[in-house]
Structure 1
Amino acid sequence: MITALRRRGLLAGSLALTAAFVLSACGSSEPSDKGKESAAGGSDLRTVKTAMGDVQVKKAPKRVVVLDTAELDSAITLGVKPVGATHAGTESGFLPYLPKDKVEGIKDVGEMMTPNLEAIAALQPDLILTSKIRHGDKYAELKKIAPTVMTETTGHPWKENFQLHADALGKTAEAKKAVADYDAHTKKVTKALGGKEKAAKTEVNVVRFVEGADIRIYGKRNYISTLLSDVGVGRPAITDKAKDGFSYDVSPEKIDLADADVVFHSTYGDPTKAKRKQTLDSALWKGMKAVENDKAFAVEDELWIQGIGYTAASKILDELQSHLTK
């Protein structure tokens, strides 16, 4: 009998406690996001369409973490200093073309392909920017930390990706200015080359020596190719053989296939393991018309290949003009 009464008493207490929580939630001085939306007459969240579906993000994110070089370039271009970012390659540090004052104080959260999720969570971000091709397999974990905006891929669609980054960051006005500045810059370079017709008669190739891989002759579907296209220079026929438009890979014994009026070359990783010296010392390389005419130029891989954005593009365009007008 006593046990039954005790059970009924516990049940009654439980129901009373539940009711108290409900009433407390309804009358709380800390409203939910929906409450804030109602009280403010509008939501402080926006819907952004991403490669992973619609994502709700703050109108003005304050604590942003970026997980690739393109996203870091976008943020810097738009006047946003992330609280955290990954680094490219095996060595710590952000790409050197970025202004030091713009990256100073950003927390390094690991190598680009293996970001430290604990370090990211510790920064308490309100937005994470990356791409599906880089971190699609980590999306479930990342979105638990903060709203995560992913583009489908990186590289060639960098202009479209930039617009998504700007939308997520609430910086569409700044994006318009960046695009306008870029368009004006490309026209300036084209004019310096003697106009569209003259520029088109100069065929340009971009070669990348890669540690542990074949040498890449870049095709027409990658970041650097879009800059060359916007300036209006010609591209050799070999670029049409690039796999998926990205690159046509060759051994040092076939490097002469990269010949053009002008050749830009960069190196990723250890130069020896990338077969750079072996190739540049070869008779095939030295016999190329670009080399014989002093039109083969070494450029920084961190800028020309890894940068991927409008801040990188501005510096590349300056270098293009300088080299092509020599």
Structure 2
Amino acid sequence: MTYRTLTTLTLATLLAAPALAAPVTVQHDRGTLTLPAPAKRVVALEYSFVDTLLALGVKPVGAALGTQGGDRGAPPYLKPKVGGVVTTGSRAQPSLEGIAALRPDLILADSLVHKDTAPALGRVAPTAVFPSRRADLDQLNEQTLLIGRLVGREAAAKQLLADQKSLIAKARAFTKKGAPAFVTGVVTPTSFTAHTAGSFAGSFLEAVGRKNQLPVKDGQTQYELSLEGLVALQPQTLVLFTAPDETPVTAAWAKNPLWQKLPAVKRGRVYEFNRDDWTRGRGPTALKLMVAQTIESRFLQDAAPGTSFKYQP
């Protein structure tokens, strides 16, 4: 074998060899996390992380899809996509043993819900902690980029955000200029939790061109309001996030004369959206549904809500 032949074979071998994966580093709520290579086996402990991973083309090996502690499991729009994903408890009660059995090389955790369990999670596998539950739209978009980097899909993450920006710009074209500010909140059978301009849903509705009446209060992006507290705000527009299998507390409020005096009720500008779509997923896929519904409901146009979105207590 000649020297030239040997050199050619060596070069061909080098070219054919798989490239070594480079380490990836991100900043998160508990410091700096460096992985020796992009993660392949990911456990997601919040729905927004599940949504984001799936949008990036990465199926988690495990996720907090359980119903313990009052959790409702995966939002319906995600259920067709999570077949085969192992349930590792609920969001508030993740199973360390179940997670460890999956041999993850990355765990995604929430800075609020998992503040006490994050150290234990970190002993199971490298853990990135982000403020999902209390994040606004900009923060969640930043997380999309960071998660994309952690799983080797940063280019896909950038494309997702570019597509999202274009979609929001198209939605803004429907928004009526000078439309009055809105008040929005999640309504359960026992409470009305206002979502300020610092919440995900509240900041998203501002991104598509409407003004949120409520700023962050004492550092809280979400807080409870009574009927009397709502009346004091005199909202011209109300946006309610409810669950289809629950009777919201506003059904009882609607029988009160105070409710009937609300400007939003008098104007017929009370919109109802499914909170499974709006406040639980909080990811790129959920946002597409939200953009479509802001247009279909006629909220952006400040017109009377369409039948599917009209509040009917």
TM-score where L is the length of structure 1: 0.76
Q: Show the 5 A alignment for 1:22-37.
A: none
Q: 1:94 to 1:271 in 2, by over 3 A?
A: closer
Alpha-carbon separation, structure 2, partners of 1:231 and 1:178: 17
TM superposition shift of 1:202:
3.5
Q: Distance in 2 between the 1:229 and 1:106 partners? A: 34
User: For the Cα contact (< 8 Å) 1:63–1:127, is it kept in 2?
Assistant: yes
Verify: 1:313 aligned to 2:287, yes or no.
yes
Whether 2:60 is the aligned partner of 1:82: answer: yes
1:70 aligned to 48, 57, 62, which one? Answer: 48
Q: CA deviation at 1:295?
A: 1.8
Is the 8 Å Cα contact of residues 202 and 212 (structure 2) preserved in structure 1? Answer: no
1: CA distance, partners of 2:265 / 2:234 = 9
Q: 2:101 aligns with which of 110, 113, 122?
A: 122
Aligned with residue 178 of structure 1, among 150, 160, 164: 160
Q: Distance in 2 between matches of 1:65 and 1:181?
A: 26
Percent identical pairs in the alignment equals: 27
In the alignment, the residues of structure 1 paired with residue 19 and residue 208 of structure 2 have an alpha-carbon distance, to the nearest angstrom, of 47
CA distance in 1 between partners of 2:140 and 2:33 (Å): 20
For residue 285 of structure 1, the aligned residue among 232, 242, 259 is: 259
Aligned to 2:238: 263
Structure 1 position 201 matched with structure 2 position 183: no
Question: What's 2:222 paired with?
Answer: 247
Is 2:24 the partner of 1:49?
no
Tell me which of 216, 221, 234 is aligned to 2:193: 216
| Alpha-carbon distance in 2 for matches of 1:136, 1:235 | 29
Q: CA deviation at 1:211?
A: 5.1
Q: CA deviation at 1:269?
A: 10
Q: Report 1:100-179 matches (<5 A).
A: 100-152=79-131, 154=133, 155-156=135-136, 157-179=139-161
CA contact (8 A) 1:208 1:268 kept: no
Structure 1 or 2: larger helix share?
A: 1
Tell me the SS of whatever aligns to 1:136. coil
Structure 1: 5+ residue stretches without partners: 1-38
Tell me the matched-pair count: 279
CA RMSD of superposed structures (Å):
2.6
On the 8 A contact 1:48/1:168 being kept in 2, the answer is: yes
Q: Deviations over 1:1-60 (max 9, x none)?
A: xxxxxxxxxxxxxxxxxxxxxxxxxxxxxxxxxxxxxx9885553233222222232533
Q: Out of 298, 315, 321, which is 2:272 matched to?
A: 298
1:93 is the counterpart of 2:67: no
Post-superposition Cα deviations, 1:255-286, rounded to whole Å, max 9, x if no partner, equal: 324543431112369856x6232113322222
Structure 2 residue runs of 5 or longer lacking an equivalent are 1-16, 304-313
Distance in 2 (alpha carbons) for counterparts of 1:259 and 1:106: 45
Q: Secondary structure at the match of 1:255?
A: helix
CA distance in structure 1 between the aligned counterparts of 2:19 and 2:192, rounded to whole angstroms: 58
